[in-house]
Copies of this chain bind each other. A is one copy, B any other.
């Protein structure tokens, strides 16, 4: 099960993250909770570097209260570029679904 998560599901979660960040600003803890709610777990050491990477790539933009110190909560939202990426991925998800689930 752990194998499947690492090999495949983690990628799915990344899509979820982009999707949610497009609907409302989200922070790391929110994501951890959301996944836990679905019965999964991802460790901080995986999640935060992942978010940082997405920000580097210009998919997300994080903003934290400047008065809150270096580890203040950071809310991420989807950038314009991120929106394009998400659109593109959506098309891929649809393809995958059509082929693997509905057997089109």
Q: Name the one of B9, B88, B94, B99 contacting A101, with C-beta atoms under 8 angstroms.
A: B94
What does the 1/0 interface line of A59-75 toward B look like (CB < 8 Å)?
A: 00000000000000000
CB-nearest residue of chain B relative to A8?
Answer: B11
Whole-angstrom distance from the CB of A3 to the nearest CB of chain B?
Answer: 5
Q: How many copies make up the complex? A: 2
Place the interface of chain A in its size category. 20 to 34
Seed contacts A4-B89, A9-B11; 6 additional CB < 8 Å A-B pairs: A8-B92, A12-B96, A16-B99, A90-B101, A93-B97, A94-B101
Closest 8 pairs between A and B when the two form their complex, measured CB to CB: A11-B11, A97-B97, A19-B100, A8-B11, A12-B96, A94-B101, A90-B101, A3-B57
